Amino acid sequence: MKILKFPLARIAIWFILGVLAAFYTEPSPKFSLLFCSTSLIIFGIAYYFSKKDFLQKIYFGIAAYLVFFSIGVSTQAIHNERFFKNHYSHKIDQDDHHVEVALHEKLRSNASNERYIAKVCSIDTSNAKGKILLSISKEGLKQDFTIGSRLYVYGTISEPRAPSNPNQFDYRKYLANKSIYGQLYANVSEIKVSQKIDKNIWYYASEFRNTIIKNLKSSGFKNEELNVVIALILGQQQDISPELLKDYQLAGAVHILSVSGLHVGCIMIFIGFLLGGLPKTRWGNFIKIAILLSFLWAFAIIAGFSPSVTRSVVMFSFVAVGKYARRKTNIFHTLIVSMLFILLFEPSFIFDIGFQLSYCALFFIVWMQPLFSSVWLPKTWILKYFWDILTVSFAAQIGTFPLSTYYFHQFPGLFFITNLLVLPLLGFILALGVFVLVWAFFDIVPTFLAKSLEWSISLLNKIINWVASFESFIFQDISFSWQMLVACYVLILAFVLWVKQPNFQRLSFALSSLILLQLAYFGNKYFNQSQEELIVFNSKRNTILVERNGENIVVYTNNNLSEANLNFIIRPYLVGNFSHISKTERIQNLAYFNKNRILIVDSLGVFPKGLHPDIVIMTQSPKINLERVLQESRPKMIVADASNYRTDTQRWKATCEKEKIPFHSTVEKGFYSLSK
Mean pLDDT of the region 458-465: 90
The helix or strand, by DSSP H or E, that contains position 549, with its residue range, turns out to be: strand 544-549
Of residues 254 and 408, the one with the higher pLDDT is 408
pLDDT above 60 for 67: yes
pTM reported for the whole predicted model: 0.86
Domain edges within the chain:
2-79, 88-198, 208-476, 482-529, 531-676
- Cβ(601)–Cβ(589) under 8 Å? yes
Query: What pLDDT is stored for residue 316 in this prediction?
Result: 78
Query: What pLDDT is stored for residue 212 in this prediction?
Result: 84
Q: For residue 198, give the 3-state DSSP assignment.
A: coil
- Cβ(429)–Cβ(458) under 8 Å? no
Alpha helices in 374-414 (DSSP H): 381-408
Task: Express each pLDDT in 48-64 by its tens digit.
Answer: 877 766 556 677 888 88
Q: Which residue in 282, 341, 283 sits closest to 311, CA to CA?
A: 341
Alpha-carbon distance of 224 to 63, in angstroms, equals: 56
Task: Express each pLDDT in 371-390 by its tens digit.
Answer: 888 888 888 888 888 888 88
pLDDT above 90 for 485: yes
pLDDT above 90 for 561: no
Alpha-carbon distance of 33 to 75, in angstroms, equals: 9
User: Which of the four pLDDT bands, split at 50, 70 and 90, describes residue 663?
Assistant: very high
Mean pLDDT of the region 460-475: 87
User: Which of the four pLDDT bands, split at 50, 70 and 90, describes residue 327?
Assistant: low
pLDDT above 70 for 38: yes
Amino acid, res. 53:
D
Q: What one-character DSSP code corresponds to residue 220?
A: T
User: Which of the four pLDDT bands, split at 50, 70 and 90, describes residue 3?
Assistant: low
E strands of 91-142, at which residues? 97-106, 113-123, 126-127, 131-137
Q: Which of 128-137, 300-309, 439-448, 484-493 has the lowest mean pLDDT?
A: 300-309
pLDDT above 90 for 488: yes
Mean pLDDT of the region 444-453: 84
pLDDT above 80 for 277: no
Sign for the CA dihedral angle at 562, 563, 565, 570 comes to positive
Q: Which residue in 250, 660, 268, 617 sits closest to 430, CA to CA?
A: 268
Fold agreement between 88-198 and 531-676: no
pLDDT above 90 for 15: yes
Mean pLDDT of the region 189-212: 84
Alpha-carbon distance of 667 to 537, in angstroms, equals: 10
Q: Which residue in 279, 340, 288 sits closest to 314, CA to CA?
A: 340
Structural domain 88-198, CATH architecture? Beta Barrel (2.40)
Sign for the CA dihedral angle at 612, 614, 617, 621 comes to positive
pLDDT above 60 for 595: yes
Query: What pLDDT is stored for residue 276 in this prediction?
Result: 75
DSSP codes joined into one string, 628-659:
HHHHHH--SEEEE-TTS-HHHHHHHHHHHHHH
Q: Strand 552-557 relative to strand 126-127: parallel, antiparallel, unpaired?
A: unpaired
Percent of the chain whose pLDDT exceeds 90:
26
Q: For residue 11, give the 3-state DSSP assignment.
A: helix
- Cβ(600)–Cβ(590) under 8 Å? yes
Task: Express each pLDDT in 607-638 by its tens digit.
Answer: 887 788 999 999 999 988 888 888 888 899 99
Amino acid, res. 427:
G
Query: What pLDDT is stored for residue 282 in this prediction?
Result: 78
What dihedral do alpha carbons 248, 251, 253, 255 form, nearest 10°? Answer: 80
Cross-strand bridge partners of residue 583: 554
- Cβ(258)–Cβ(354) under 8 Å? yes
pLDDT above 70 for 4: no
User: Which of the four pLDDT bands, split at 50, 70 and 90, describes residue 598?
Assistant: very high
User: Which of the four pLDDT bands, split at 50, 70 and 90, describes residue 329?
Assistant: low
Alpha helices in 163-251 (DSSP H): 171-176, 201-218, 223-234, 242-250
User: Which of the four pLDDT bands, split at 50, 70 and 90, describes residue 107?
Assistant: confident
Task: Compute how many other C-beta atoms are within 10 angstroms of the C-beta atom of residue 161.
Answer: 12
Query: What pLDDT is stored for residue 75 in this prediction?
Result: 93
* Superfamily classification of domain 531-676: Ribonuclease Z/Hydroxyacylglutathione hydrolase-like (3.60.15.10)
Task: Compute how many other C-beta atoms are within 10 angstroms of the C-beta atom of residue 426.
Answer: 20
| Highest mean pLDDT (candidates 13-17, 314-318, 375-379) | 13-17
Mean pLDDT of the residues in the chain:
85
DSSP codes joined into one string, 338-377:
HHHHHHHH-GGGGG-HHHHHHHHHHHHHHHHHHHHHTT--
